[in-house]
Chain A
Amino acid sequence: MTRLLSTTAFRWSFAIALWSALLSLILFAFIFWQTTTLELAENDDVIEKQLAYVAAEPDQAKSRIEGWLGGGIQSDRFAGYFAPDGAWLAGNITELPKALPRDGSVHVLDSAVAVAGGETRSDLRSAALRHADGHVIVVAISPEDIERAEAVILQTLGLALIPMTILSVIGGLLLAARARRKLVATEGAVAAVMQGDLRQRLPVGTGRDEFDRLTIDVNTMLDRIEVLVDEVRSVGDAIAHDLRTPLTRLRARLERSRDEARTVADMQQAIDRSLVWLDQCLALITAILRIGEIEHGRRRAAFGPVDLAHSIAEVAEVYDPLAEEKGVRIVRAIEPDLPPVTGDRELLFEAIANLVDNAVKFTPQGGRVRLSLRRQGQELVLGLEDSGPGIAPGERARVFQRFYRAEPARHSVGNGLGLSLVAAIVTLHDFRIAVSDAVPTGCRITLTCPTIIPARPELLDRARELPQARISTDVPS
């Protein structure tokens, strides 16, 4: 119970109960004030009308007073009829109240008024009027009835307030307990995650309320975190491994040359060899930093309209001689008049170049690499097919992971970062990449690029601000 009392849900329900009680009180006070004011006004109206009625006919004043008093049945009614010298003539007010102005309107007297039976009343609301001949008429009503009504109203409202407060508190407690039950299960799972067990997931309820939706979101987040942490873990291992090999060689070579080199030429040769291995290590580190930089989306500043057809043509042109030396043909199939995409022309060039580099590397002599670009609705589809060995379906999702090398590539040159760099660039641009089989053999990589990005209008704005020089194309000759 103490735990329940300390929960936010309980505090909220208690606060809401207090708040609704306070609102009811204000409402009650308003009703009470309105009612009593109205009653008093009606009361005074009756007094003034009666006074006018009695005074209208001086001859019938006595009988009208008797009629008004009803022979004592109306215990809250009072009246008196006095001679010009102040002597009592009729009614149950036995003495003329001196302080009462004879102006026909209602007053509450501070001094007591003597009434029949030797009593005095000090709470009467009374009015008096003097005739031209000096006779004075007094009419008064005791507010007892009103006071009684007031008491009843107060009692009723007070009685209603108690169950209302109790009901709000109970309702709040029920809601708090319900939220609490949901939270307890979640807390357990979260505690396990905090202990480092990233495979834990929060229990999802059957409902579709905000809480369930939040739980599903948190679970999706945990899925992603688990993948990322695994990736970081394996990347860490892979980096260490990939750095250790050249560094081990470097160390051995330096140690040996220090002892064995006899001439400057020997020494220079050893140092040159060492520099190559050192450059490998640096290239690996630079590649990792670049991927990190791109993944963090810090490169969007250079975004602008990019003519993909031109980028493809340039990549193909750069790789033509290399492919030719290997006996591989690079075939282009680019639709004319395609719209530009929004992106970083250098990064897109790098991504396409990496893909083509891979394709040329894995295509055997006499094979071909086919680059295509066509429009599909609002998107451009870049296709890259090679006639190499292809990628097994089970490995396709993993080729874009850092350091992953499909089995045929395991022993070839490269640090296994090329495709993860491509993946990072693709993600930065909100493009999609997919791997499938090419016909008849080989691998097909499809890059789908939206030509308009309605979800990120600020990118287009930023692209427009860029100096034109960055988006101009340098067509050779």
Chain B
Amino acid sequence: MDGAAEKGADDGMGRLLLIEDDAETAEDVLGDLRGRGHQVDWAATGPEGREAALAGGWHVIVLDRMLPGCDGLAVLRALRQGGDRTPALLLSALSDVDERIRGLRAGGDDYLTKPFALGELAARIEALLRRPVEAPETLLRVGTLELDLITGTGRRGQRGLDLLPREWKLLDYLMRRPGQVVTRAMLFEEVWNYRFVPKSNLIDVHVGRLRRKLEAGGEPPLIHSVRGLGFSLVADD
């Protein structure tokens, strides 16, 4: 990774490489990601993708698990063996959990099963582009919201917050990704540590409770719903 690549990721926009053999899917993904301000290159085959990936200079590589001419995992392994740690997101029509484990072991950073919502893909790419606020931080602050990781207390302005353990974890996760769209699936994976799509509106209920606690003093909303996708914690100042 060169310096230019590192720097480009800070504003949430990046140079992306999409390795995907299905032209229709690629067209939609390219259109969507470019529409969001990313700069995206497309490779349609495994060998082509490997060449482009090894050339370097990418912020995130999105690659299909099964490619003509060369397996997506093989491309990833070639990249990792060369010492390149560029974040990679695997796309696959295979939902088998073993497949996912295999993908992550080969050096993948995230795994998305087809069919997926374009918003979900964009949110996950954004999460890979923007490294979350690192753990050594002792105080998380977004606008008037503060979490003291040492004392385990939270405050909204001058008002203390009374949070349950899971609400704390949820808020911690959101505050490390301010302004970023976080999908329901991402929340379930990261906060509850299960890959599972709940049938009922479970996540919304949990987020709703947290939201009520944050706005109990009549403050303006902090957690915003992103329609059809998930949530975003946006600073209020």
Contact = CB atoms under 8 A, between A and B. Distances in A.
Contact of A414 (B192, B199, B208): B199
B165 A301 contact: no
B36 interface: no
A418 B208 CA distance: 25
Contacts of B206: 318, 321
Given A321-B206, A321-B209, A418-B199, A476 B166 contact: yes
Interface string B93-117: 0011110010000000000000100
A218 interface: no
Contacts of A349: 194, 196
Given A321-B206, A321-B209, A418-B199, A272 B228 contact: yes
A388 B168 CA distance: 33
B97 A302 contact: yes
A474 B194 CA distance: 10
A23 interface: no
Contacts of B98: 298-299, 301-302
A318 to B, nearest CB: 6
Given A275-B228, A317-B166, A325-B205, A346 B196 contact: yes
B3 interface: no
Contacts of B34: none
A290 interface: yes
A474 B115 contact: no
Nearest to A317: B166
Nearest to A472: B193
Interface string B139-175: 0000000000000100000000000011011000000
Contacts of A317: 166
Interface of B: 95-98, 101, 115, 152, 165-166, 168-169, 192-202, 205-206, 208-209, 227-228
A298 B96 contact: yes
4 cross-chain pairs, A with B, having the tightest CB-CB distances, nearest first = A477-B165, A476-B165, A301-B98, A321-B205
A9 to B, nearest CB: 47
Contact of A346 (B165, B194, B209): B194
A474 B193 contact: yes
29 contacts: A272-B227, A272-B228, A275-B228, A298-B98, A299-B97, A301-B97, A301-B98, A301-B101, A302-B98, A302-B101, A314-B192, A318-B198, A319-B202, A321-B208, A322-B200, A322-B205, A344-B97, A346-B195, A349-B196, A350-B194, A353-B196, A357-B200, A418-B199, A474-B193, A476-B165, A476-B166, A476-B168, A476-B169, A477-B168
A245 interface: no
Contacts of A289: 95
Interface of A: 272, 275, 282-283, 286, 289-290, 293, 298-299, 301-302, 314, 317-319, 321-322, 325, 344, 346, 349-350, 353-354, 357, 360-361, 414, 418, 474, 476-477
B196 to A, nearest CB: 5
B202 A346 contact: no
Nearest to B94: A293
B95 A290 contact: yes
A339 to B, nearest CB: 22
Given A293-B96, A322-B200, A353-B196, 20 more contacts: A272-B227, A275-B228, A290-B95, A293-B95, A298-B98, A299-B96, A299-B98, A302-B101, A317-B166, A319-B202, A321-B206, A321-B209, A346-B97, A346-B196, A349-B196, A350-B194, A357-B198, A360-B200, A476-B165, A476-B166
Contact of A322 (B101, B165, B169, B202): B202
Nearest to B93: A289
A282 B116 CA distance: 10
Nearest to B195: A346
A319 B208 CA distance: 14
A302 B227 CA distance: 34
B194 to A, nearest CB: 5
A312 to B, nearest CB: 14
A353 B97 contact: no
A278 to B, nearest CB: 9
A265 B202 CA distance: 29
Contacts of A299: 96-98
Contacts of B198: 318, 353, 357
Contacts of B152: 477
A357 B196 CA distance: 13
Contacts of B165: 476-477
A292 to B, nearest CB: 10
Nearest to B168: A477
